[in-house]
Amino acid sequence: MTQFTFDAPTVIRTKRDGGALSDAAIDWVIDAYTNGRVADEQMSALLMAIFLRGMTNAEIARWTAAMVSSGERLDFTDLRRDGRPLALVDKHSTGGVGDKITIPLVPVVMACGGSVPQAAGRGLGHTGGTLDKLESIPGFTAEISKAQIRQQLCDLGAAIFAAGELAPADRKIYALRDITATTESLPLIASSVMSKKIAEGTAALVLDTKVGSGAFLKTERQARELARTMVELGAAHGLATSALLTDMSTPLGRAVGNAVEVSESLEVLAGGGPPDVVELTLALAAEMLAEAGLDGVDPAQTLADGSAMDRFRALVAAQGGDLAQSSPVAVHAETITASRGGTMENIDAMAVGLAVWRLGAGRSVPGERVQSGAGLHIHRRRGEAVAAGEAVFTLYTETPQRFEAAIAELDGAWRVGDSTPSAQPLIIDRIRE
């Protein structure tokens, strides 16, 4: 029998013209791109065609499965602690601004008895990445061996690692999307998130699906559809998956950037920190513990009694990090002040994310080094009183020529006025199969 072969221009043309890709075409293009037989230019064109034309559910399912098959799939079901299988559970966010939740959340779940195998990502577009944040801790490495991941899961209860050989197709496509304006696509987000999470070997997964200006998909309708699609993809691969829909119209917490977000996470682990960061950490922890069958433990207690902080210290030390050495904010700072007094009526998450990206916290070319110290502090948050002349934001960068563009992003993105903004729920809904 002759084997039907594909070529990239035909696959691109099919999607460009609104057609559906066959299973065989998807398998071929993912494999050929992973192994260098489809060029970046060709995959970029295909991603833009998918961005513009979308995909059917059947295409998304096959694209995700092909990405999982592009690399290895980890399996921790043989691991035991005190003679019992590990309660394996993970969380993934669809990307937000000031979204440092993984950093306090993982140690909270560890302290409650869960084991978190977390394949984490780098910044994407205007959103920050857990790896870029954690790598601002001197010595911390996410490039750890499989043996070390297994050891940490057993001994400590977590490992946070670069996806490496898991879903290598996603690693290449993720980097390409970041620089080709093709991030904000439901099929591409769903397949990217779920391919990594299916391959990483967790038994249960909680998704934090963002809604609002700082999310990749802005409307509640789009975010619901994304959450549903991901929950179904998880179920199809035997991964118990649930999702929270959470507000991302304004940044989470007061710190946005890399080192500044680690500092804010340490405040949360010390029992303080901004109330919204604490609320979301505890809501996601409760969901993860329920998914892992660990109900009956109180995640808030682990912040109050320091046990989550102890777990974080142990996790960072196991991965080479030194929390005793501070990772300072960048030396150059600029402050933005309010020209009038009143109430902070709004701070737009997208604009803040773009400002921080322009300060050097994210990438504009593949593999670019991000600045650990680049970031922003929000002194007055939505709903807080502001006095005329008072500092509203402080911006940090190692390269002061970046200030002008960052400040321009914030122009018109925040408003001090006389009305009190209506309270917006942080947790909008919960979605299960």
User: Which residues lie near ligand URA (CB under 6 A)?
Assistant: 94-95, 121, 124, 189, 192-193, 196
Cβ atoms of residues 17 and 11 within 8 Å: no
Please state, in angstroms and rounded to a whole number, the distance separating the CA atoms of residues 97 and 260: 13
Please state, in angstroms and rounded to a whole number, the distance separating the CA atoms of residues 54 and 44: 15
Instruction: Kindly list the distances between the CA atom of residue 41 and the CA atoms of 9, 13, 37, in Å, as whole numbers in the listed order.
Output: 11, 14, 12
Nearer to ligand URA, 65 or 193 (CB): 193
CB of 151 to ligand URA, least distance (A): 25
CB of 174 to ligand URA, least distance (A): 6
DSSP structure class, residue 402: G
Nearer to ligand URA, 121 or 273 (CB): 121
Would you call 92 a catalytic residue per the annotation?
yes
Please state, in angstroms and rounded to a whole number, the distance separating the CA atoms of residues 3 and 79: 42
CB of 195 to ligand URA, least distance (A): 9
CB of 324 to ligand URA, least distance (A): 31
Residue with tokens 């390409």: 176
Please state, in angstroms and rounded to a whole number, the distance separating the CA atoms of residues 415 and 79: 53
CB of 211 to ligand URA, least distance (A): 14
Phi, psi of 179 (to 5 degrees): -115, 10
> What is the secondary structure of 108-135 as a DSSP string?
HHHHTT-BEEEEE---BTTB--HHHHHT
CB of 256 to ligand URA, least distance (A): 17
Please state, in angstroms and rounded to a whole number, the distance separating the CA atoms of residues 161 and 396: 27
Contact partners, residue 186, CB within 8 Å, separation at least 6: 54, 217, 222, 225, 226, 229
**Nearest CA to 137 among 175, 103, 177, 179?**
103
CB of 121 to ligand URA, least distance (A): 5
Nearer to ligand URA, 230 or 255 (CB): 230
Would you call 192 a catalytic residue per the annotation?
yes
> Which of the residues 62, 91, 172, 177 is marked catalytic?
177
Please state, in angstroms and rounded to a whole number, the distance separating the CA atoms of residues 23 and 86: 35
> Which of the residues 99, 132, 170, 348 is marked catalytic?
170
Nearer to ligand URA, 27 or 170 (CB): 170
DSSP structure class, residue 88: B
**Nearest CA to 286 among 274, 262, 302, 272?**
302
CB of 350 to ligand URA, least distance (A): 15
Helix axes 259-269, 102-111, angle to 10 degrees: 30
Nearer to ligand URA, 200 or 287 (CB): 200
Please state, in angstroms and rounded to a whole number, the distance separating the CA atoms of residues 281 and 284: 5
- Total residues belonging to the chain: 433
Q: Which residue is nearest to ligand URA (CB)?
A: 192
> Which of the residues 62, 122, 171, 196 is marked catalytic?
196
Would you call 170 a catalytic residue per the annotation?
yes
Cβ atoms of residues 88 and 240 within 8 Å: no
Would you call 82 a catalytic residue per the annotation?
no
> Which of the residues 192, 195, 263, 372 is marked catalytic?
192
> Which of the residues 62, 91, 92, 224 is marked catalytic?
92
What does the longest C-alpha to C-alpha distance in the chain come to? 78
Give catalytic residue positions. 92, 170, 177, 192, 196
